[in-house]
Amino acid sequence: MSNIISIQELENTKDKSMRIKFNDYIEGLELVEPLQADLEVNSLGEFIEVRGNVKGIVKLVCDFCLKEFEYKLDFDIDETFAKNALSDSYGEEIELKNGQFVTDLFGSDEIDICDLLYQSVILNIPNQKVCGINCNRDSFQSEDELEDPRLDVFKNIKINPK
């Protein structure tokens, strides 16, 4: 199976719609098993809409205890692409309506599914990665690791209240 959506092929389908089942690893993501995505791609005139669901398990490192853990992914995708350059005054993305953005393909004749899924996974990984509700970073780090020598200069600061 190709990991590329051909815009020409999409336009030549009967209802200008494609269903894509993705089941593969993506370079740059430390996946425990192949990422699974069930996507529906629709041509809407000047725009292409990609909707679907993504599932998988990715390995992350806890921000507190630094242990590796598995994080379950299960999220929906709703992406819109502009077939031709929208305007020179816009960047690569513009906002259509509240919370929805359009990615400009700049006349490209294809969409890379792996790139789309990679970006979607990265955006769905939490900012603060914690291995569990009972994570206790103190039990995994020695006292020396908890202290940052760069902060030693602040130990002897005296503040005079006015």
Q: What is the pLDDT of residues 45-75, one digit of tens each?
A: 888 899 999 999 999 999 988 899 999 999 9
Is residue 90 classed as helix, strand or coil in its secondary structure? Answer: coil
DSSP-assigned letter for residue 6: E
Q: Give CA–CA dist 92/106, Å, rounded.
A: 9
Written as tens digits, the pLDDT of the chain (162 aa) is 468 888 888 888 889 999 999 999 999 999 999 999 999 999 988 888 999 999 999 999 999 888 999 999 999 999 998 887 555 544 454 555 545 567 777 767 888 999 999 999 999 999 999 998 888 765 555 555 556 777 777 777 777 776
CA 1-51-47 angle, to 5 degrees, is 95
Any long-range contacts for 35-43 (C-beta under 8 Å, 24+ apart)? 35/73, 35/117, 35/121, 37/77, 37/113, 37/117, 39/77, 39/113, 41/5, 41/10, 41/17, 41/111, 42/16, 42/17, 43/7, 43/10, 43/11, 43/16, 43/17
Q: State the residue for tokens 């020396």.
A: 144
- 8 Å CB contact between 50 and 35: no
Q: State the residue for tokens 């789309």.
A: 116
Q: Is this prediction's pTM over 0.95?
A: no
Q: Give CA–CA dist 98/68, Å, rounded.
A: 36
Q: Give CA–CA dist 5/81, Å, rounded.
A: 12
Total residue length of the chain:
162
